[in-house]
Amino acid sequence: MLNLYAVKVWHPSAPRYGETINIWTYTIDRAEYLAAESYPGCRAAAQPLAYRAELKPRPPGYFRRPQRVQ
């Protein structure tokens, strides 16, 4: 199953400045490899995104909670 990873890519000479990209792949190692391959000479660190909701945040109150009956 494909998983979504947020991968931060930066150049070793400027470690404070980086770019975060999203990659769909099977493993975290593969996500880091693909990012480093796309940006030659750069380093990559991946982190799994557990929820797709992190990609498109919803406004407050989007999910209505049922009222409890007492």
30-61 pLDDT per residue, tens: 999 999 898 888 889 999 887 554 555 555 55
pTM above 0.95, yes or no: no
Which residue range is the domain that position 17 belongs to?
3-51
Please answer whether residues 25 and 3 qualify as being in contact, where contact means their C-beta atoms are separated by less than 8 angstroms.
yes
Read off the amino acid at residue 62: Y
Asked if the structure places residue 58 within a domain, the reply is no
Whole-number Cα distances in Å, 11 to 7, 8, 14, 21, 31: 13, 10, 5, 14, 17
18: exposed, middle or buried (Cβ count in 10 Å: 0-12, 13-18, 19+): middle
What's the number of domains the chain is made of? 1
Residue 53 has what pLDDT? 46
Asked if the structure places residue 62 within a domain, the reply is no
How far from the centroid of its chain's Cα atoms is residue 31's Cα?
10
Asked if the structure places residue 67 within a domain, the reply is no
Categorize the per-residue pLDDT at 24 as very low, low, confident or very high, splitting at 50, 70 and 90: very high
58-70 pLDDT per residue, tens: 555 555 555 566 5
Residue 14 has what pLDDT? 81
Asked if the structure places residue 26 within a domain, the reply is yes
